[in-house]
A = this chain, B = another copy of it.
């Protein structure tokens, strides 16, 4: 198969033939849809499916599965700057396993409670194991962090460290357990990613960011979504990529960099900040409890280069070979 998920959505599910409803402010194609809610607020809505064998290994513990299914949806809300509110759970299970359901539901409500989210409904059906969550959050009116507003000259930031999840996954794919604390850390980063909810809300409320996306398919792939929507290019400074000491110590710098650029499921935020707002970031984000790093800058699309992203190392242009973003149809 050559086509990927984005081709299918673009070709078949982008729009009906009639005009969109006036209460739909942002539709298919961003981290969330945005609809009207009331005079002061908008509603952000996102849906994510996880299928056994495609999005998670059959060996995953139900507590980790529940956590990650919720976290990935919260991450989409975070990327819009929304405060999480309500969640619907569509759970398809092959049979009724009480131990499994107990562990799954306890973990599920544990993370919901932590983020003050209510489970408001859903559906429980028999079939091959999969989980679809629809999450809804509330945004101050006209403050959604969209993908299409990045501008030439804006600085590109990412939160946390990149590539840890891909490093952790590589152990799980080999059926290996952690043999040291660095490997434990990386596996934990894969199984229990932290959705950057407070960071997203802070960026939305302060209006400091011009665009944002969560890194679920890999930093390069997700930044490319911003660039395509904003019709611009970017330069990434490879030596600025935030890499954890654990990832570098276990995999070496070259592999760590690969994971940081193209590994999926980091669930960090990538966001752009106009130069005029750069100095205000430190104060606005001081109490959020997450690091953030400037890794590059938005540029005009280079006329001679069909790639939207150029890479530099210590200020010198370099070519980077790397795998594309995660796409389960490819």
Contacts and interface: CB of A to CB of B under 8 A. Distances in A.
Query: Taking each of A20, A88, A109, which has the highest tally of chain B beta carbons within 10 Å of its own beta carbon?
Result: A88
B86 A35 contact: yes
A229 B278 CA distance: 56
A125 B51 contact: yes
Contacts of A43: 43
Interface string A118-152: 11111111111010101010000000000000000
Interface string A65-90: 00000000000000000000110111
A109 B130 CA distance: 25
A329 B54 contact: no
Contact of A126 (B105, B125, B329): B329
A122 B13 contact: yes
A47 to B, nearest CB: 4
A24 interface: yes
Contacts of A47: 88-90, 121-123, 132, 134
A130 B92 contact: yes
Q: How many copies altogether?
A: 2
A306 interface: no
Nearest to A86: B35
Interface residues of A, number: 69
Contact of A24 (B3, B5, B120): B120
A155 B23 CA distance: 37
A291 interface: no
B17 A127 contact: no
A255 B102 CA distance: 41
A27 interface: yes
Contacts of A96: 1, 3, 8, 329
Given A21-B116, A45-B86, A47-B88, 4 more contacts: A13-B119, A38-B39, A45-B88, A127-B130
